[in-house]
């Protein structure tokens, strides 16, 4: 098993290989997204025991029975936001913080919400250590969004909802895009909802996915009856 002592150059080659084989060859071509994936060290956002799998094309488990999504799905979702670099964006489901770091490379400001305090605290520490000072990590019910900082030029949801939460749609800026998995617990349609006017939205199916459930007031009920602040 590889350890944290692996040389920086080797890590760079692993990231480059991941981007070429898992991302570019599967259709994600936006230069800014590619550059972000080449830069952000995914190994910093997973447990030491999983270090050798950092750049595999697969999701990995993290604490609280959650996951860090496979690199391709993360790239695909961020690409769908079509960010220009000037937006304030909202992420629902901080997890380990990896996608928030990528968003920080693509947008001016990132607000990321995490239901579990332990995950929020750990992600905040890692992001601060890596110098991502434009990311604000908040422990909150992500299904309700964060209206205090709305509107957002983009919203990305890293958990599956039974339907698109109305609160998230209403927190989009005009022209903003919301990327969210919607469906059952067994599988979902990844949707892109674009706000075209104050009251009008366009809804597009992107691909089939499978995410952990989005738990909260406007999502699924707490399946294990565990308080979110544990």
Contact 123, 173 (CB under 8 A): no
Contact 73, 27 (CB under 8 A): no
Q: pLDDT tens across 96-154, in order?
A: 999 999 999 999 999 999 999 999 999 999 999 999 999 999 999 999 999 999 999 99
Residue 224: predicted pLDDT: 53
Q: pLDDT tens across 174-218, in order?
A: 999 999 999 998 999 999 999 999 999 999 999 999 998 999 999
CA dist list (Å): 207 to 171, 189, 191 = 24, 6, 8
User: C-alpha angle with apex 23: 193 to 126, nearest 5 degrees?
Assistant: 80
- Check whether 5 has a pLDDT greater than 60: no
Angstrom distance (rounded) from CA 101 to CA 126:
10
Q: Which of 69, 96, 140, 197 is catalytic?
A: 69
Residue 10: predicted pLDDT: 86
Residue 6: predicted pLDDT: 59
Q: What's the pTM value of the predicted model, to 2 decimals?
A: 0.91
> Which single residue is written with the structure tokens 């995950």?
119
Model confidence at 221, pLDDT cuts 50, 70, 90, reads confident
Contact 165, 182 (CB under 8 A): no
Angle between helices 31-39 and 71-81 (to 10 degrees): 140
Tokens matching residue 141: 């019910």
- Check whether 225 has a pLDDT greater than 50: no
Q: pLDDT tens across 15-41, in order?
A: 999 999 999 999 999 999 999 999 999
Q: Which residue has the higher pLDDT, 1 or 102?
A: 102
Catalytic site residue 69?
A: yes
Angstrom distance (rounded) from CA 77 to CA 150:
20
Residue 227: predicted pLDDT: 36
What structural domains does the chain harbor? 59-209 (3.40.50.150)
Q: pLDDT tens across 68-94, in order?
A: 999 999 999 999 999 999 999 999 999
């Amino acid at each position: 098993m590889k350890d944290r002592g692996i040389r920086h150059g080797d890590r760079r080659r692993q990231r480059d290989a991941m981007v070429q084989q898992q991302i570019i060859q599967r259709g994600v071509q936006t230069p800014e997204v590619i550059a972000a994936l080449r830069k952000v060290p995914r190994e910093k956002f997973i447990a030491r025991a999983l270090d050798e799998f950092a750049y595999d094309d697969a999701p990995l488990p993290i604490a609280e029975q959650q996951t860090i999504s496979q690199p391709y799905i993360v790239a695909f979702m961020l690409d769908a936001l079509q960010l220009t670099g000037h937006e304030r964006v909202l992420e629902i489901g901080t997890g380990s913080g990896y996608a928030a770091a990528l968003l920080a490379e693509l947008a001016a400001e990132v607000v990321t919400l995490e239901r579990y305090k332990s995950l929020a605290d750990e992600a905040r520490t890692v992001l601060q250590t890596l110098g991502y000072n434009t990311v604000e990590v908040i422990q909150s019910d992500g299904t309700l969004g964060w209206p205090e900082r709305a509107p957002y030029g983009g919203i990305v949801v890293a958990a599956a909802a039974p339907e698109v939460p109305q609160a998230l749609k209403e927190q989009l800026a005009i022209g903003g895009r919301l990327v969210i998995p919607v469906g059952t617990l067994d599988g979902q349609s990844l949707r892109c909802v674009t706000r075209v006017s104050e009251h009008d939205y366009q809804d597009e199916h992107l691909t089939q996915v499978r995410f952990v459930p989005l738990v909260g007031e406007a999502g699924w009920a707490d399946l294990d009856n565990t308080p979110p602040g544990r």
